[in-house]
Amino acid sequence: MPALLSLWTSQFRSGSISIPKFTRYALAIMIFGGLFCSCKKNSSNSGGTTPPPPVKSNQHNSLITQHGDNYRTGWNSTETELNTTNVNKGKFGLILSLPVDDQIYSQPLVVGNLQVNGQSHNVLFIATVNNSVYAFDGDDGKLLWNNNFTASGMRVVQNTDMTGACDGSYADFSGHIGIVGTPVIDTVNKFIYFVARSTSPDGQTFLQQLHKVNIITGQDDIPPVNITASYSGTGDGSQNLVINFNPQKQNQRAALTLTNGNVIVTWSSHCDWGPYHGWVIGYDAASLNRQFVFNATPNDANGGIWESGQGTSVDDQGNLYITTGNGSIFYGGGDGIDYGESAVKLLVNGNSISVGSFFTPYNALYLNQNDLDFGSIGSLLIPHSNYFFTGAKDGSLFLLDKDNMGGYDSTANNVYQELNLGNPNANEHCQAAYFENANAGFVTLWSENDPLRVYPLVNNKLGNPVKSTIAGPVGQNGAMLSISSYGQHEGIIWATHAVAPADAEHDVSNGILRAINAANITQELWNSNLTPSDLLGKYAKFATPTIVNGKVYVATFSNKVQVYGLK
């Protein structure tokens, strides 16, 4: 019996909603007035057939932030249509391919049952690196609106504008660098928030703007705010004891966060091109007025917030959890103010933000000198617990007490639990995820050059992992994971990654979407390479697949969104 099978309930019990194939076709015929049928001739006279149109979902759930919640679990436990029985080559595949104007680095977001133009839709929101945002009907693919948010008189920033990054050969981006971090949506007030980047035609003046856009109309609710900030310090790039935010060099990579009426935005860099710092800036969600600013390395350098694009984690008390990469002088708050190579708990109180706890590995200097940054992995908070899960490029994993993270000791890591992948080539450019069954909780991750792993949470500690034998990502980019289930049953791990031997770190590569039985991770239920008509296209690194309302929405670098579902 597979190692995890006994931990999962084997049957999809009553309370689920399963729509037989003949019922779905009947619904389609009723909805479209009999205009479509499975034998309708293709207008191209090719002799082929046109499949029935996608069926409207009977679910109207929303996924409005990266990885689904502010813990960043990546787990949708409300999926009633997709299960381990019907996700297979015969019943599941590509049902829509929606064109957009450029590559997509952000996770697709969905608002269920939204009224647009007098009709209800499950609306799919897509942001591209051309500073464009699209709203599609998430069931039939109809375009509801789209708009471009490049600043007037300017153009979109592109990789060649990062003239000093990677010694002038910057390839982390292959073209435009507009909207990159996943937006966040306020479903109560009907707004989507995102950061768009623009530059003057000559590439000399750079601008980053936070937008608040009405999700029904696609128009700015109020004028966007130009992102500026300053912080007292003597660190890299300081002038007269002040560090100023640099809109060219600061890379808005990680997802935005909405919490307690504030929009939280974080920054890293472009290929460690300095001077740069790890910034956290909070804006009032209603007015876009800046509320607070935190700089992770004001007397130091670097300290970027990467997390493979994962958003800031937020606990039930509204505290923020970030991880930072390279720092070069002070470690573990050695000067009481600098936190490179660290996990940091931030306390927000009105217009103030301060450090509540932190952890810095004892070997932070070694990590920095060998470019083995802490916080490469997308971190998360474990639900129903006091623990924060994170890791570093050296293969280390940490389960931290979020209220007493462990501080800094130059000889040892005084943390709640420490593990290691035991693989020097597993550099954790990936996103961790979390799910549960009736018996336990699980943390899962799929680093590059390493197998998919599932760690059971046993007695509040991570047990020995179960490892999959399914071939995975190589090079310097791991897999992006999401989990769907109906409650604690019928769990599926969904993964996207570049197809080996391609390395997505610097190359635009073919991608694959995989569906894996969460109860038995050696069992692949389906993948997009089984049938030519299901091919994903070019892999969008760090863009998590979205599973909601019986659909799987996948961003690509092929200027399209691929939508998979029951055929």
Q: Are residues 173 and 190 in contact, defined by beta-carbon separation less than 8 angstroms?
A: no
Strand 290-295, strand 480-486: pairing? unpaired
pLDDT value of residue 130: 98
Cis peptide before 451 (omega within 30 of 0): no
Nearest to 543 by CA among 530, 557, 529, 533: 557
CA 202 to chain centroid, in Å, comes to 32
pLDDT one-digit tens code per residue, 410-434: 999 999 999 999 999 999 999 999 9
Burial class (CB in 10 A: 0-12, 13-18, 19+), 470: middle
pLDDT value of residue 333: 64
Q: Which residues pair with 514 in a beta bridge?
A: 495, 527
Phi-psi category of 58—alpha, beta or left, where left has phi over 0 and alpha has psi -120 to 50? alpha
Q: Whole-angstrom Cα distance, residue 180 to residue 265?
A: 12
Cis peptide before 501 (omega within 30 of 0): yes
Nearest to 450 by CA among 483, 431, 422: 422
Q: Whole-angstrom Cα distance, residue 63 to residue 374?
A: 28
Strands (E), 17-108: 75-76, 92-99
Strand 290-295, strand 313-314: pairing? unpaired
Secondary structure percentages of the chain, helix, strand, coil, to 5? 5, 40, 55
CA 229 to chain centroid, in Å, comes to 25
pLDDT value of residue 26: 39
pLDDT value of residue 46: 34
Strands (E), 427-510: 433-436, 441-445, 453-458, 461-462, 466-467, 480-486, 489-498
Report the chain's terminal Cα–Cα distance, integer Å.
31
Q: Whole-angstrom Cα distance, residue 323 to residue 422?
A: 22
Q: Whole-angstrom Cα distance, residue 135 to residue 144?
A: 5
Q: Whole-angstrom Cα distance, residue 248 to residue 199?
A: 9
Average pLDDT for runs of 10 along the chain of length 567? 42 36 38 34 35 76 98 98 97 98 98 96 98 98 98 98 93 96 98 98 98 98 98 96 98 98 98 96 98 96 96 98 87 79 97 96 92 95 97 97 95 97 96 95 97 96 97 95 95 97 91 98 98 98 97 98 97
Q: Are residues 300 and 316 in contact, defined by beta-carbon separation less than 8 angstroms?
A: no
